[in-house]
Structure 1
Amino acid sequence: MKTNNLNFLRLIAAGLVLYGHSAIFLGHPEPLFLSWMPLGPLGVAIFFIISGYLVTQSWQQDPNLRRFFIRRCLRIFPGLIVCVLFCIFVLGPWLTSLPLKQYFAHEATWNYLRNIGLYITFYLPGVFEHGRVPNAVNGSLWSLPLEFFLYFVVAVLGLISTKKWITIATFLTSALFYLCWAQSATEMLVVYGTDLRQLFINGTYFWAGAVFYQLNLKRYFSITSVVLAGVGILCIQTNFPQYLFFAGWFLLPLIVLAFGLSTNEVLTRITATGDYSYGVYIYAFPVQQTIAFFYPHLNFGTYVALCIAVTLSFAILSWHLVEKTALAFKPRNPAFAGVSP
């Protein structure tokens, strides 16, 4: 069992996405963190930072393509498959405005299965047609193809070279594409159903996490470094807000990883029964849509509390019935039996 705070931190990140989306579903502006970043994107950035660090660690400790991708697939696809099938065969028939025969005869119903192949499709016919986020059954899935593509890049770069400079160069290239294109581009560039701008917006955080691992910056992690990084963000936000996104590529990963890789007995106990963050992430959006569909005038606090309770219930079931069972099949490196982040 992991003895660090990463499971707790991932759960918080998923909660930030849920909370940020809650405001949108009730027609409010999404809350900002320090007037810098909306809470939903902040949660996603935290996920990418942690992933960049751990996936790079996984490859470095066991650079075997077969084992590497089996581990990655077992982490993403079992839970995703069940979630997609639940939306098609339970949520859709329950909430669609179409007759069931027409719903199941509709091409879009079966196109929704493409989510299993990470070709993200949000639409199910007749479902959530008139909400504040219309026709989107599970808007949170957009990040999964980016995540999996970055796994692929980690493996390719690892096969090319074991030198640290290649990870640093990839981080700098991603940051450059963000600065020169992604942050200012007003039109999406879509490949395989994915907005490529996000590859650099969130990919830069992923590669920042990877650089932290490659440079072994863990030796500098402490509560002091977390506090200093937090103070640095506050000072930059107050005096030089135009540079906060740039400083955030270093300071946010420092806070996330220094806190996440530390150990706190209380936080460890909170997540001792399982890692529910992925389940919260993939189920929150359809749960929130459904609750907003039936109760569009709930006050914000009640809505958030209800969404958390229902989503967490799905996440617990997903972990214990699907994800945990699948992860038991993760292959082990014969030389390092304990390695499979």
Structure 2
Amino acid sequence: MAVLGNFAGVRENNFNLLRCIAALMVIYAHSWGLSTQGEADDPLKIFLGGSVGMLAVNAFFIISGFLVMQSWGRQRSLLNFCRARVFRVIPGLFGVLLFTVLMAGFFWSTLDAEAFFRSGETWKYFYKNLLMIKTEYDLPGVFASNPYPDAVNGSLWTLRYEMKMYLALAVLGLLGYLGGKRLRLFVGVFVLWYLGNTLAGLWMLEAPVSDEMLRLSLCFFLGGLATCYGARLPLHGGLLLLLGALMLLSRGGLMYDLFAALFLSYAVFYIAYIPRGWILKYNRVGDYSYGLYLYAFPIQQVIFLKWPQLGPLWVFGLASLLTLVCAIISWHLLEKPLLDYCKRLNSAVTMRPVTAMAKG
């Protein structure tokens, strides 16, 4: 039987495809949430017991935890690790913020361009979202009359959580808690922390940790844990079906988030490595998932601005096509060139001590 550890270091996998599917799931969910109908009418949400967009974001964090943990092991340098994370997140974010502000100022806002660009709210939106100080959602005079008013890019909220996960992983790595007995200690502490905060929500008006932080940290943790204990994790279709059944049976219950995270984690790793052959050809295309995720929300809001009564499925199809164009441009002109530059920088830093030692 195949185990996850057998695929350690295998570069031919389906993670790019999975991230693209997750991004499309977010577009699908927002097509309902931003419409006059609302997400409550989404048939997939009714069946799954949770928002399709929420499950997609969970999958993003699972994949991120798995791959970023591997990155930490490869880099062996805090500088390299931090630089890799910054170059992955910031260029695409800068691009979408610049695109949004310019398009809003000249085409989407009810204010004239001069008033829009003079407004402090405009630049607060730009720099606070870029630095991930606080997620800002509105721009002056933009989308105020939409079915879901004022929100310009509701997808940006997850990026702050992503950066928090990177920081937490780096701190744990520096303290030596990503291997050996200390890792087992951390796993035990995390399980107690998660269960304690989950149960606290039953009798406390306000839980000590937000639902978002609890859910996303669990997903990131499960992804990272799979990197460490992959040699013990079998990949079998029967186990995938069992976890899927447990998720569906737990709908509406206290443990739904836990079972959903377990099922999604297992499904991600199963789909990433077990299907082979023609499906791997997707990797030749490029990684457009980040651009799809970043650009979709404002594009969907523009569609609803022009055609507020358009049905969710029509918006999903139209927005997916328009967003894909933006994602392709973002990947080839901005994200990939800077990622390649980052790799060259990190390779130079890695080689420097070796060269110095050889001369000595």
Q: 2:184 aligns with which of 160, 165, 175?
A: 165
State whether structure 2 residue 315 is matched by structure 1 residue 303.
yes
State whether structure 2 residue 141 is matched by structure 1 residue 126.
yes
Q: Secondary structure at the match of 1:37?
A: coil
Q: How does 1:242-257 map to 2 (within 5 A)?
A: 242-257=254-269
Question: Do the aligned residues in 2 keep the contact of 1:13 with 1:44 (CA within 8 Å)?
Answer: yes
Question: Do the aligned residues in 2 keep the contact of 1:103 with 1:125 (CA within 8 Å)?
Answer: yes
**Would the alpha carbon gap of residues 55 and 182 (structure 1) be closer, same or farther in structure 2, given more than 3 Å must change?**
farther
CA distance in 2, matches of 1:15, 1:174: 32
Amino acid at match of 1:276: Y
Question: Do the aligned residues in 2 keep the contact of 1:174 with 1:203 (CA within 8 Å)?
Answer: no
Q: 2:150 aligns with which of 108, 131, 135?
A: 135
Percent of aligned positions with the same letter in both sequences? 31
Question: Do the aligned residues in 1 keep the contact of 2:215 with 2:257 (CA within 8 Å)?
Answer: no
**Would the alpha carbon gap of residues 311 and 167 (structure 1) be closer, same or farther in structure 2, given more than 3 Å must change?**
farther
TM-score (norm 2): 0.83
Q: How does 1:71-82 map to 2 (within 5 A)?
A: 71-82=84-95
CA distance in 1, matches of 2:236, 2:155: 32
Deviations, residues 162-206 of structure 1 (Å, cap 9, x unaligned): 3321541354155235404568877699xxxxx954221211111
C-alpha RMSD of matched pairs (Å): 2.6
State whether structure 2 residue 198 is matched by structure 1 residue 179.
yes
CA distance in 2, matches of 1:277, 1:219: 27
Q: 1:92 aligns with which of 105, 110, 127?
A: 105
Q: Equivalent residue for 1:8?
A: 17
Q: Equivalent residue for 2:167?
A: 152
CA distance in 1, matches of 2:201, 2:77: 33
Q: Equivalent residue for 1:192?
A: none
Deviations, residues 96-138 of structure 1 (Å, cap 9, x unaligned): 1112211111110110122110122111100011212211111
**By how many angstroms is 1:140 displaced?**
0.2
**By how many angstroms is 1:27 displaced?**
2.1
Deviations, residues 19-44 of structure 1 (Å, cap 9, x unaligned): 00100121224231634211110100
Which protein is richer in helix relative to its size? 2
**Would the alpha carbon gap of residues 92 and 184 (structure 1) be closer, same or farther in structure 2, given more than 3 Å must change?**
farther
Q: How does 1:247-286 map to 2 (within 5 A)?
A: 247-286=259-298
Larger radius of gyration: 2
Structure 2, unpaired ranges of 5+: 1-9, 352-360
Deviations, residues 62-96 of structure 1 (Å, cap 9, x unaligned): 33100001110111000100111111122332111
Question: Do the aligned residues in 2 keep the contact of 1:167 with 1:210 (CA within 8 Å)?
Answer: no
Q: 2:241 aligns with which of 227, 230, 237?
A: 227
Structure 1, unpaired ranges of 5+: 190-194, 336-341
CA distance in 1, matches of 2:272, 2:226: 13
39-48 or 292-301, which deviates more: 292-301
State whether structure 2 residue 222 is matched by structure 1 residue 208.
yes
State whether structure 2 residue 43 is matched by structure 1 residue 24.
no
Question: Do the aligned residues in 1 keep the contact of 2:197 with 2:207 (CA within 8 Å)?
Answer: no
**Would the alpha carbon gap of residues 53 and 33 (structure 1) be closer, same or farther in structure 2, given more than 3 Å must change?**
farther
Question: Do the aligned residues in 2 keep the contact of 1:20 with 1:40 (CA within 8 Å)?
Answer: yes
**By how many angstroms is 1:249 displaced?**
3.4
Question: Do the aligned residues in 1 keep the contact of 2:36 with 2:309 (CA within 8 Å)?
Answer: no
CA distance in 1, matches of 2:291, 2:80: 23
Amino acid at match of 2:235: F
Question: Do the aligned residues in 2 keep the contact of 1:14 with 1:281 (CA within 8 Å)?
Answer: yes
